Structure 1
Amino acid sequence: MIDIHCHILPGVDDGAKTLEESLEMCRMAVADGVKTIVATPHQHDGVYNTPSATILAKVEQLNAALKQAQIPLTILPGADVYIDVNTQEKITSGEIMTINRTKRYFLLEFPSHTLPANIENMVFNLMLKNIIPVLTHPERIGEVQQHPNRIYDLVSLGVLSQITAMSLTGGFGRHAQKCAKTLVEHNLAHIIASDAHSIDSRPPILTKGVKEAAKIVGHDWAQAMVTTIPQQVISGQPVEDLEAPVPIKRRWFGLG
Structure 2
Amino acid sequence: MFVDLHSHLLPNVDDGSQSYRASLRLARQAVDNGIEVALMTPHHMNGQYVNHKQDVIQLTDEFQKHLDNENIPLSVFPSQEVRITGGLLQQLDDDDILFSDAFNQYLLLEFPDDDIPTYSRDIIFKIMQRGITVQIAHPERNIKFMKNPRILFDLIEAGALAQLTAGSYVGNFGKKVESFSEEILNHNLAHVLVSDAHDLPNRSFEMAEAMKKVEKNLGRDYQQLLERNAESIIDGNSITTLKPELIVKRKFFSKF
Fold shared per TM-score above 0.5: yes
- Displacement of 1:252 after TM fit? 7.1
In the alignment, the residues of structure 2 paired with residue 146 and residue 216 of structure 1 have an alpha-carbon distance, to the nearest angstrom, of: 25
Deviation at 1:21, TM superposition (A): 0.9
After the TM superposition, which segments of 4 or more aligned residues of structure 1 sit over 6 Å from their partners?
Answer: none
Structure-to-structure mapping, 1:164-179, within 5 angstroms:
164-179=165-180
- Partner letter of residue 242 of structure 1? T
- Indicate if the aligned counterparts of 1:146 and 1:253 stay in contact, CA closer than 8 A: no
Stretches of structure 2 that go unaligned for 5 or more consecutive residues are none
Distance 2:253 2:204 in 1: 29
Query: Aligned equivalents of 1:164 and 1:56: distance in 2?
Result: 24
Matching residue of 2:195: 194
- Corresponding residue for residue 245 of structure 1: 244
1:184 maps to 185
Q: Which residue of 1 aligns with 2:214?
A: 213
1:14-163 mapped onto 2 (5 Å cutoff): 14-163=15-164
Deviation at 1:147, TM superposition (A): 2.2
Secondary structure of 2:242's partner?
A: coil
| Distance apart, 1:250 and its partner CA | 4.0
Letter of the 1:243 partner, please give it.
L
Task: Compute the displacement of 1:92 (Å).
Answer: 4.2
Q: Alpha-carbon deviations, 1:24-63, whole Å to 9, x = none?
A: 1111111111010000000111210011111011100111
Aligned partner letter, 2:203: R
Specify every segment of 5 or more residues in structure 1 that has no aligned partner in the other structure, as ranges. Answer: none
What number of residue pairs does the alignment pair up? Answer: 254
User: How many percent of aligned residue pairs carry the same amino acid?
Assistant: 30
SS of equivalent residue, structure 2 residue 253? coil
In 2, the alpha carbon distance for the partners of 1:154 and 1:75 equals 29
- Conserved 8 A contact 1:91-1:97: no
- Are the structure 2 counterparts of residues 203 and 250 from structure 1 closer, same or farther at C-alpha, using a change threshold of 3 Å? closer
SS class of match (1:223)? helix
1:133 deviates by 1.1
| Shift in Å, 1:88 | 2.9
Return the alpha-carbon distance in structure 2 between the equivalents of residues 42 and 15 of structure 1.
9
Asked if structure 1 preserves the Cα contact closer than 8 Å seen for 2:102 and 2:235, the reply is no
TM-score by structure 1 length? 0.93
Partner secondary structure for residue 66 of structure 2: helix
Distance in 2 between residues matched to 1:101 and 1:12, nearest whole Å? 22
Amino acid at match of 1:232: S
Residues 97 and 57 of structure 1, relative CA distance in 2, 3 Å threshold: same
Is 1:231 the counterpart of 2:231? The answer is: yes
